Structure formats: C-alpha cells, structure tokens
Amino acid sequence: MFSSRETGGDLWSLLEQHGHPLTRQTPVHQADLFASPNTLEVHGTTVIAVKYDEGVLAVGDRRATANFSVMYDKADKVLSVDDYTLLAISGSFARAMEVVRYLRTSFKLFERTYLQPMSLEGKLAELTKVVRAGIPEALQGIGGFIPILVTFDLEANEGRIFFYDGMGARFESTEFGAAGSGSMQIRGIFDYIVKTKKPFHQMSRDEALQEALLLLDIAADLDAATGGWSKILPLARTITAKGIEDVSEADLRTVVNRIEQGRG
C-alpha cells in the first residue's frame, strides 16, 4: 500500500516513485483504452429485487461492461452469501467479488466461533463496513459498487430487502429494490405496478417474476449498459423459508415468451 509519507505531495510523483506506467510524461489517448480493454474496470448492471407471497425474488441481467465495450454476457450478479442471504451487485465487478468472498468468510467464521449464525443486524453491519471501506477508491472513479442485500428473516418469517448508497447508508424496502445504471430509468414503474395492480408481496412467484423481467427489459431499452434477454436470459434466484433456489431457464423462457406474446 502506498503511504502519503513516501511522496513529495502529488499523484504523479507517487506514480513515478513506484514505477507506474502512467506518469505525467505519458500521453493517454482514448484509442489506447479501447485497444487495451483489460486495463479497464468491468462493471455490471442492472439488478432488481421484489418481494412475493413466499419470499423475495432477485433478478439481474448478464451484461458486464467496460467503458463503452461489452466485456462479458454471462455475468452472475445475484450471488449467495450463505443459506439465507443473497447479494445482488451493480458497479465494479472485481470489488463485488472481493466483498462476496469476504462476507462468506466472515459469516462462516462467526458461526464456527460462536456456534450460531450471525444475526441479520450483524450481516447488515458487515456489508456497511465493506461499502464504506471502498469510498476512497470510489471517489477516484474506481471500485465503486452498490449492493442489494436480500434475505429471509426466519424469526419474522418474511423476506426482506435492504439497499445501500455509495457512502454505506442502509435502507430497507417494503416491496422492491433496484441498483445499477438502468435502475433510475425504471424507478417510477415499481410504484405504478404497486398502485395499479397490487403490492409485490401479494403476488405469486410467477407474477413477480413477470413484472421483474418486464422491468429489466425496459431498463435494457433505456440503458446501454443493461443487457436484454434476446441473447442471454437474465439470472433469477428466490429466497424463502426453504432457502435459496435458482429459477430455471425453462421458467424464465416461459415468462419471456408470455411477455413477448402480450406485446403482439
């Protein structure tokens, strides 16, 4: 780790002292960035979480981008942390993977040390800690990521959705949550669904899945960084009192076909 004591004061001096290829004498051209995509940070968007009558459904598109390039079309943005916790990620993919590995280790270590699972409040506090730890990098334009934590609260017997801002502030949603560059474009549609149809927590899994996939499709239409389903189906996972389950590709395809037929 670089120490501020090692430098004469500015960033360029720090880079030069440590032999970094980017110095004040090094011209940077946009064409060079596209010619070397591996030097770009890979980002993932968009993720959605909605409640339904048995728990919570989390859905994410599969696209990962770097600058204006599509780097990968099979990214997993809905990741299990333990048997009753999912993390839906947007933003820096590398940072998100680091956070998921840390949380898995932290939760398991707590359970083995104290012979009981970490409390929900403890899990939320751990995620707050790692989001805040990434603030310095995020302020430099790298490493920023926004998570949605989805869990099933066995004591309350209900699914719960928590989302964060870039500074680590935590909020709980009563019905839905979304993160990523496509989330702002669809923010008001969630409320429209709740007010004109019914609350998500009263929907069946298939009803909630259809609404979530439709929202993701709208986000893909309005946001270039969000992938649609024409090439690769989105990823969807549920979490209930029984634990975490994947929504099968067959079920996803059935709902997608239903949406497309409805448009005809």
Structural tokens at position 33: 């960035």
| Phi and psi, residue 165, nearest 5° | -100, 180
Distance CA 177, CA 187 (A): 9
Token pair recorded at residue 238: 């549920």
Question: Do residues 231 and 237 lie in contact, with contact meaning Cβ atoms separated by under 8 Å?
Answer: no
Respond yes or no: is residue 174 known to be catalytic: no
The residues, any chain, with a CB within 8 Å of residue 165's CB and separated by 6 or more, are: 146, 171
Residue 238 DSSP one-character state: E
Is the distance from CB of 40 to CB of 69 less than 8 angstroms? yes
Given the residues 7, 45, 226, 240, select the one marked as catalytic: 45
Q: Among all residues, which ones are annotated catalytic?
A: 45
